[in-house]
Amino acid sequence: MDFNITDTLTPQEYSFFRKAVEWLPATAPQAQALQNSSKFAVARTHTGQPAGMVRWFGDGGMLYVIADMIVLPEYQGTGLGSCLLQTALAAIRAEVPTGQRRTVYLMAAEGKEPYYEKNGFVIRPNTAQGLGAGCTLVIEP
């Protein structure tokens, strides 16, 4: 199925995504707060219905956080999640001038670590990067 990738997400759509994958609900102020700092990649069907999302935020120089990777159950396993993740990483790469090292943090849900490893992240804790839950991806210049 073809999707359009857009850069907007309403608070209502965010709540819808969380419910669809049985995550704890966000309060209305929490869902609204995403608009303060997050950037979004949202896959939509040809009718504009949301199918998958990811969001990220960072300091524009050294450090980024990727969160809320969600693909609706009916679209999972079709490559959409990886497409969204790579869209976010491409945007992060484009935002920082070349020649600068950036670290992207991501808290993997239990059991999802191998998924992120496939997408270039390194599982922590590890010897080089030390303790820390989740995974990090260092984008070399």
- Three-state DSSP at 74 gives helix
- Residue number, 60 or 114, with CB nearest to ligand COA: 114
User: Among residue numbers 111 through 130, which ones bind ligand COA (CB under 6 A)?
Assistant: 111-112, 114-115, 118
- Residue number, 96 or 135, with CB nearest to ligand COA: 135
CA distance 96 to 92: 7
* Eight-state DSSP code of residue 95: H
CA distance 94 to 138: 15
Cis, bond preceding 114 (omega within 30 deg of 0): no
User: Among residue numbers 22 through 81, which ones bind ligand COA (CB under 6 A)?
Assistant: 69-71, 76-81
- Residue number, 76 or 129, with CB nearest to ligand COA: 76
Residues found near ligand COA in the complex (CB under 6 A): 21, 69-71, 76-82, 108-109, 111-112, 114-115, 118
